[in-house]
Chains A and B, each alone.
Chain A
Amino acid sequence: MTTTAPAAVARLDAVTHYYGKTLALAGVTLDVPAGRTLGLIGPDGVGKSTLLSLLTGAREVQQGRVLALGGDMANRRHREDVCARIAYMPQGLGKNLYPTLSVDENLQFFGQLFGHDAGERRRRIDELTRSTDLYAFLQRPAGKLSGGMKQKLGLCCALIHDPDLLVLDEPTTGVDPLARSQFWDLIASIRASRPGMSVIVATAYMDEAQRFDALVAMDAGRILATGTPAEFLERTGSPHLEAAFVALLPPEKREGHKRLVIPPLRATEGEEDVAIEARDLTMRFGEFVAVDHVSFRIRRGEIFGFLGSNGCGKSTTMKMLTGLLPASEGRAGLFGRDVDPKDIATRRRVGYMSQAFSLYSELTVAQNLVLHARLFGVPDAEVQEKAQRMAARFGLTQLMDSLPDALPLGLRQRLSLAVALVHGPELLILDEPTSGVDPVARDQFWELLAELSRRDGVTIFISTHFMNEAERCDRISLMHAGRVLVSDTPAAIASGRGARTLEEAFIAYLEDAGARGGALDRADAAGSAPASPPGRDLGQRRFFSPARAWSYSVRESLELRRDPVRAALGLVGSLLLMFIMGFGINMDVQDLRFAVLDYDRTPLSRGYALDLSGSRYFVEHAPIADDADLDRRMRSGELSLALVIPPGFARDVARGQAVQVGAYIDGAMPTRAETVAGYVQGMHQAWLAEIARQRSGPTAAGSPATVETRFRYNPGVQSLPAMVPAVIPLLLMMFPAMLTALSVVREKELGSILNLYVTPVTRSEFLFGKQLPYVVLALLNFLLMALMAVTIFGVPVKGSFLALLAAAVLYTLCATGIGLVASTFTRSQVAALFLTTIGTMIPAVQFSGMLDPVSSLEGPGALIGGIYPASHFLTISRGVFNKALNFDDLRGAFWPLALAVPVILATAVLMLRKQET
């Protein structure tokens, strides 16, 4: 720390940060030197990422002060001013990239956000991609790049605007050694050409930290030490940084840590004793060959390491060996037998631990152990004892009732191992078991492995990216692009290539394998990157830049086009539902089944029900025999209506004596029952009038007045013409709102929302840009629904279609806007989906006049109905479809609709945050 302190480009002062109750940073004070590369080292979860996100302004500062590029990052004005000078590459492979977009489209998007014109973008993109060897892959979707290439693309996107401060969060995690070394060479050459640029890097690989100008070692939200790599080694007297880091840890963390020595594997009882054998194992997913003729043999008791970058086929090979995936070709054998996914017996001899630490987070430690023991067929009597023994061996006894999620990563990893071992397997398959675990815990884990292998004779097949772990294996295989490049003991591999370290040997193998080499010869290409000031002027358009909004629109529509399932679900889904509702919400009653129990059996009694059986609403069934028959047939649901005509009916009518006809209606479905009652009453009245007319001539009786009922707009009082125009507003609200909400929340889930936080794009540009494609989609949806109404349902448009279209434009703006509002306070796609469904369906169905008119509602329902856009669009839709109205007639409904648009959009913009909390 005694190095001559250069000017600081950024400074953290007593910064403390909590996630809920979890402390992420505890009073960190740090200067970030200008024009240097500063490395943050430490395992996962010590606060490195939090620190970096605070520094870039992506995350809101809670306590303390964060200064960067000469201003306070808590100040919004300052953030807006400097965000164009900071580049941030978040953790996770291609986290801020758009996987369905091509390399070129990704870069174009970022260029547009920073206000470059088309020519400038082309020039910069070509330069950057040439210097990173991505030029040949400009048209390839980002999601289909290898891990190393994704990181290079991420770097290009970060560098497109010539930042002064480059922030890289674990840029090489999960990338193969060659790509890693190329990445750092690239950074070095860029720094050489732009000496003023400061770089701050977080990494979990201690070995690569050697290259940095200065280091900050972190643990548990605190800074352990700062200094140059040489100072670190000198201060701790350690041979390498990993040991130095362990030495810097507080004593209680180091406890139990000792230098790991794995005794050599005993020269074995014959080469024949093979635990795993793979011969020409191949796996194809369609065109893509994930694993290409892989062969190896692993002896019993051996620790066999599998090295390679993410996506090189390690996990796929392991899955084929466990029988999880059937091989496309070749054979895999365990204990001299072919792997057969159906062979349950072999599985008992294997313990498997996957990348995700396959634990049930909903079960406690004890429950996890017991469940696995039982499923592996440990006899009931021994289950508890076995679980206890495993817990004791792995130091979990005190934690038996905790839930796995509450445990630190290192302990969770041990529990996973305990779970995989509870049935005493002879073979252990471990897929990257140590990712993200701190060095001390990793060494402890390896002690357990050594003991298992050497003492218990368990064969261990393990994959890893850590070189020092690879060195601990008896033998290793290096995989690249689905093929095994070399398989031997670590020492033999290194000496075979005449390399000093295993890593160098691997890089040599990878280069031979045709992975692109030579990163340095493009130093001059990067050097010619424009020294001209980047689009600084773009910070000027603070409020709304149509170009930036448009760049979001373009990007969103590209993504939508590449993911046709989503768009199709929106379109097809709404058409399907319209079809269902058109036919389903049917108030018409037709073909009601009825029968008569006629005790009188006279012409008069037979004539009574004649009206009914002649109507299109009723279907007459066989006459009812007696009361019991009536009860049975009504109970079974066969009859909706039963008429009972009493004995002596004709006689009593003739005498003018009071007589009662019984009508039994099935009340199980009240709406239907009411309609039936209405029909029966009508029929009865008609019959009475008819009798009266027959008796006393046409003129005498009759009512003193008549009511002429005119059913307007829908003379047949049919459901279809009434419902179809009402269903359109409902569906045009639900689906566009849902799709829009999902599009924003998806960015939150995938991480690309960061681009909103750290680029000059404003909230309104982001939201309106994303909204536009969905408005277009919704309008298309509307046109399709209108077409369907006219053709399939035969409901003609009687009024002005132009008025309807204009209203639809306003309405889709509202609907997508409501989706935006919903997206601002949900974090997961599922939550957004349910929230928008509830938030749109309930008001649209119940309060918007779809069934009951808004004027009939009371209380909050009436209030919601009065302001909810669906009410007004419904009035317009019915007005145009059914009532032959035009603009003028519907003016009253247009105003509230037009007013709702700015209100909803303003709400969405105000509620969206431009920083993470």
Chain B
Amino acid sequence: MRRFLDHVYRLGVKELWGLWRDPMMLLLAVFLFTVSVYTSATAVPETLHKAPIAIVDEDRSALSQRIVDAFYPPQFLPPVLSSLERADQGLDAGEFTFALIIPAGFERDVLARRQPAIQLNVDATRMTQAFSGSGYAQQIVLGEVSTFLQRDRASTTPPVDLALRARFNPTLDKGWFGSVMDIINNVTMLSILLTGAALIREREHGTIEHLLAMPVTPAEIMLSKIWSMGLVVLLAAAFSLLFVVQTVLQVRIEGSIALFLAVAALYLFATTSMGIFMATVTRSMPQFAMLLILVLLPLQMLSGASTPRESMPAFVQGIMLAAPTTHFVAAAQSILYRGAGMTFVWPQMLALLLIGSVFFVYSLRRFTRTIGRMA
């Protein structure tokens, strides 16, 4: 046993040297956990940001002018005044997301209490702007109409007020979400990439057969790669969380970072095993890289890191329960945003441990079986 641990340790240290002398990989790791996290936090625009709108003003009254003036950046681009036909073409060509049509006689009808209607055309293929933007536009229009009317009489305040409070992220700052989810995505990508590349590199340099001729076992080789590369990614993630997210981006982290890192360690156990597995099924770096893309995208998109899991079809949700990323994302969100402790995240930790063990055992078996052929 002592010898086993000694070998795992020595080989792992060798991997660390290997990484240290590979400037491209180091650069990639540093980039991913600093610049990339920073930009993905700051680059996410507000939901409604400079939405292009056209207004067909057939009324040309004081009220309609008031409405036109009420649309301005940053939520909307300054409105383009156009004709009905032109607005239609613009919607077709994707130039505008919204086209507001103020009918002739609008002001007159409002004053006469005839409840006239304004038509708001929305390009509903622009999911990011269509829904929130239409509500916003509606509020703006109705707000302007009622202030216009206030000259006549006092408005009735609604007796019941709705106090909306967003918990855990009061201003709904997307940077909070983006930065942490980017760390998670980077942890996934880098851990798979580093372990897989470490194995493929040995194979391409012919050192794997050398290792096999030595008194070391496949389990030792595999574990050494897992601990060393896992450690690198874990440290990078911790650094990124403490310095980039907390210090530079000023994101308030609710829960315990130590607990998050513990969950991340469990997660890394699963992903590094995946990296080994993928390196055993591919023959070269290019093949590995192709496979990596095909594996990473579903993990990122369907794990709940980019869109809520509830909105996915049930079978997709079911399949994704087998992916470690799903549990890691859930646990990370609970810990970092909602300040949840062990009592809340133990099911995810258990799931990660389970999935990791299955992956590890399976990869080890495949690795042991194929390693002879790799040499």
Listed residue (A592, A667, A719) with the most chain B CB atoms within 10 angstroms of its CB: A667
Are A705's CB and B316's CB within 8 A? no
**21 intermolecular pairs with C-beta atoms under 8 Å apart:** A324-B213, A358-B205, A363-B17, A367-B14, A569-B294, A580-B298, A583-B312, A586-B307, A593-B310, A637-B334, A637-B344, A667-B172, A703-B115, A713-B125, A716-B124, A717-B124, A738-B290, A837-B293, A851-B128, A853-B94, A854-B94
On whether A664 and B165 interact (CB within 8 A), knowing A573-B290, A671-B47, A853-B94, the answer reads yes
Tell me which residues across on chain B come within 8 A of A367, comparing CB atoms. Answer: 14, 17
- Taking the closest CB of chain A, its distance from the CB of B78, in whole angstroms, is 12
Are B94's CB and A667's CB within 8 A? no
On whether A668 and B333 interact (CB within 8 A), knowing A359-B207, A580-B298, A678-B135, the answer reads yes
Tell me which residues across on chain B come within 8 A of A705, comparing CB atoms. Answer: 106, 109-110, 115-118, 141-142, 145
Are A324's CB and B209's CB within 8 A? yes
Are B307's CB and A830's CB within 8 A? no
Tell me which residues across on chain A come within 8 A of B160, comparing CB atoms. Answer: 653, 659-661, 684, 687-688, 691
Interface residues of B in 41-56 (CB under 8 A from A): 43, 45, 47, 49-52
Proximity string of chain B (279-309) to chain A, C-beta cutoff 8 Å, 1 when within and 0 when not? 0000011110110011001100110001110
On whether A707 and B141 interact (CB within 8 A), knowing A358-B210, A376-B214, A659-B160, the answer reads yes
Q: Which 8 A-B pairs have the closest CB atoms?
A: A356-B206, A667-B169, A358-B210, A667-B166, A584-B301, A714-B124, A829-B286, A668-B337
Are A577's CB and B308's CB within 8 A? no
The answer, yes or no, to whether A723 is at the interface (CB within 8 Å) is: yes
- Taking the closest CB of chain B, its distance from the CB of A721, in whole angstroms, is 7
Tell me which residues across on chain A come within 8 A of B18, comparing CB atoms. Answer: 360, 362-363
Number of interface residues of A (CB under 8 A): 138
Proximity string of chain B (200-228) to chain A, C-beta cutoff 8 Å, 1 when within and 0 when not? 00000111011011111100000000000
Q: How many angstroms between the C-alpha atoms of A659 and B94 in the bound complex? A: 44
**Selected contact of B338 from candidates A350, A634, A725, A833, CB within 8 Å:** A634
- Taking the closest CB of chain B, its distance from the CB of A106, in whole angstroms, is 23
Tell me which residues across on chain A come within 8 A of B96, comparing CB atoms. Answer: 855
The answer, yes or no, to whether B82 is at the interface (CB within 8 Å) is: no
Are B7's CB and A375's CB within 8 A? yes
Q: How many angstroms between the C-alpha atoms of A362 and B16 in the bound complex? A: 10
Tell me which residues across on chain A come within 8 A of B1, comparing CB atoms. Answer: none
On whether A583 and B165 interact (CB within 8 A), knowing A363-B17, A668-B333, A707-B137, the answer reads no
Can you name the residue of chain B whose Cβ is closest to the Cβ of A342? B217
Can you name the residue of chain B whose Cβ is closest to the Cβ of A883? B92
Tell me which residues across on chain A come within 8 A of B209, comparing CB atoms. Answer: 319, 324, 354, 358
Q: Which stretch of B173-181, B242-250, B259-267, B351-359 is in the interface? A: B173-181
The answer, yes or no, to whether A635 is at the interface (CB within 8 Å) is: yes
Interface residues of B in 312-368 (CB under 8 A from A): 312-313, 316, 330, 333-334, 337-340, 344
**Selected contact of B159 from candidates A593, A653, A716, A829, CB within 8 Å:** A653
Proximity string of chain A (450-484) to chain B, C-beta cutoff 8 Å, 1 when within and 0 when not? 00000000000000000000000000000000000
Are A322's CB and B338's CB within 8 A? no
- Taking the closest CB of chain B, its distance from the CB of A652, in whole angstroms, is 8
- Taking the closest CB of chain A, its distance from the CB of B210, in whole angstroms, is 3
Are B120's CB and A324's CB within 8 A? no
The answer, yes or no, to whether B238 is at the interface (CB within 8 Å) is: no
Can you name the residue of chain A whose Cβ is closest to the Cβ of B159? A656
Q: How many angstroms between the C-alpha atoms of A583 and B287 in the bound complex? A: 26
- Taking the closest CB of chain B, its distance from the CB of A697, in whole angstroms, is 15
The answer, yes or no, to whether B61 is at the interface (CB within 8 Å) is: no
Tell me which residues across on chain A come within 8 A of B257, comparing CB atoms. Answer: none
The answer, yes or no, to whether A374 is at the interface (CB within 8 Å) is: yes
Are B215's CB and A344's CB within 8 A? yes
The answer, yes or no, to whether A900 is at the interface (CB within 8 Å) is: no
- Taking the closest CB of chain B, its distance from the CB of A422, in whole angstroms, is 11
Tell me which residues across on chain A come within 8 A of B109, comparing CB atoms. Answer: 705
- Taking the closest CB of chain B, its distance from the CB of A794, in whole angstroms, is 13
The answer, yes or no, to whether B151 is at the interface (CB within 8 Å) is: no
On whether A667 and B168 interact (CB within 8 A), knowing A589-B310, A713-B125, the answer reads yes
Q: How many angstroms between the C-alpha atoms of A675 and B310 in the bound complex? A: 13
Q: How many angstroms between the C-alpha atoms of A712 and B123 in the bound complex? A: 5
The answer, yes or no, to whether A500 is at the interface (CB within 8 Å) is: no
- Taking the closest CB of chain B, its distance from the CB of A689, in whole angstroms, is 10
Are B117's CB and A706's CB within 8 A? yes
The answer, yes or no, to whether B69 is at the interface (CB within 8 Å) is: no
Tell me which residues across on chain B come within 8 A of A359, comparing CB atoms. Answer: 207
Q: How many angstroms between the C-alpha atoms of A742 and B159 in the bound complex? A: 67
Can you name the residue of chain A whose Cβ is closest to the Cβ of B320? A584
- Taking the closest CB of chain B, its distance from the CB of A712, in whole angstroms, is 6
Tell me which residues across on chain B come within 8 A of A706, comparing CB atoms. Answer: 115-118
Q: Which stretch of A199-207, A811-819, A885-893 is in the interface? A: A885-893
Are A833's CB and B302's CB within 8 A? no
Q: How many angstroms between the C-alpha atoms of A725 and B125 in the bound complex? A: 9
Q: Which stretch of A48-56, A113-121, A874-882 is in the interface? A: A874-882
On whether A709 and B134 interact (CB within 8 A), knowing A354-B209, A833-B286, the answer reads yes
Are A658's CB and B210's CB within 8 A? no
Are A661's CB and B161's CB within 8 A? yes
Are B149's CB and A586's CB within 8 A? no
Are A569's CB and B215's CB within 8 A? no
Are B330's CB and A637's CB within 8 A? yes
Q: How many angstroms between the C-alpha atoms of A666 and B340 in the bound complex? A: 13
Tell me which residues across on chain A come within 8 A of B146, comparing CB atoms. Answer: 703-704
The answer, yes or no, to whether A6 is at the interface (CB within 8 Å) is: no
Are B50's CB and A665's CB within 8 A? no
Are A707's CB and B117's CB within 8 A? yes
Are A722's CB and B132's CB within 8 A? no
Can you name the residue of chain B whose Cβ is closest to the Cβ of A572? B294
The answer, yes or no, to whether A325 is at the interface (CB within 8 Å) is: yes
**Selected contact of B115 from candidates A356, A687, A702, A713, CB within 8 Å:** A702
The answer, yes or no, to whether B91 is at the interface (CB within 8 Å) is: yes
Q: How many angstroms between the C-alpha atoms of A183 and B294 in the bound complex? A: 47
Tell me which residues across on chain A come within 8 A of B94, comparing CB atoms. Answer: 849, 853-854, 874-875, 878-879
Q: How many angstroms between the C-alpha atoms of A702 and B155 in the bound complex? A: 12
Tell me which residues across on chain B come within 8 A of A830, comparing CB atoms. Answer: 285-286, 289
Proximity string of chain A (657-700) to chain B, C-beta cutoff 8 Å, 1 when within and 0 when not? 11111111111111111110110111010011001000000000
Tell me which residues across on chain B come within 8 A of A584, comparing CB atoms. Answer: 298, 301-302, 306-307, 312, 316
Are B119's CB and A710's CB within 8 A? yes
The answer, yes or no, to whether A347 is at the interface (CB within 8 Å) is: yes
Q: How many angstroms between the C-alpha atoms of A827 and B323 in the bound complex? A: 35
Q: How many angstroms between the C-alpha atoms of A830 and B3 in the bound complex? A: 37
Are A722's CB and B127's CB within 8 A? yes
On whether A376 and B125 interact (CB within 8 A), knowing A354-B210, A634-B338, A705-B118, the answer reads no
Q: How many angstroms between the C-alpha atoms of A656 and B160 in the bound complex? A: 8
Are A576's CB and B145's CB within 8 A? no
Are A355's CB and B344's CB within 8 A? no
The answer, yes or no, to whether B375 is at the interface (CB within 8 Å) is: yes
- Taking the closest CB of chain B, its distance from the CB of A654, in whole angstroms, is 9
The answer, yes or no, to whether A261 is at the interface (CB within 8 Å) is: no
Tell me which residues across on chain B come within 8 A of A890, comparing CB atoms. Answer: 93
Q: How many angstroms between the C-alpha atoms of A708 and B106 in the bound complex? A: 14
Q: How many angstroms between the C-alpha atoms of A590 and B317 in the bound complex? A: 13
Can you name the residue of chain A whose Cβ is closest to the Cβ of B165? A664
Are B127's CB and A719's CB within 8 A? yes
The answer, yes or no, to whether B195 is at the interface (CB within 8 Å) is: no
Tell me which residues across on chain B come within 8 A of A540, comparing CB atoms. Answer: none
Are B217's CB and A682's CB within 8 A? no
The answer, yes or no, to whether A763 is at the interface (CB within 8 Å) is: no
Q: How many angstroms between the C-alpha atoms of A726 and B127 in the bound complex? A: 11
The answer, yes or no, to whether A521 is at the interface (CB within 8 Å) is: no
Are A707's CB and B17's CB within 8 A? no
**Selected contact of A326 from candidates B17, B145, B372, CB within 8 Å:** B372
The answer, yes or no, to whether A372 is at the interface (CB within 8 Å) is: yes
Are A360's CB and B132's CB within 8 A? no
The answer, yes or no, to whether B27 is at the interface (CB within 8 Å) is: no
Interface residues of A in 348-394 (CB under 8 A from B): 348, 350, 352, 354-363, 367, 371-372, 374-377
Tell me which residues across on chain B come within 8 A of A635, comparing CB atoms. Answer: 334, 338-340, 344
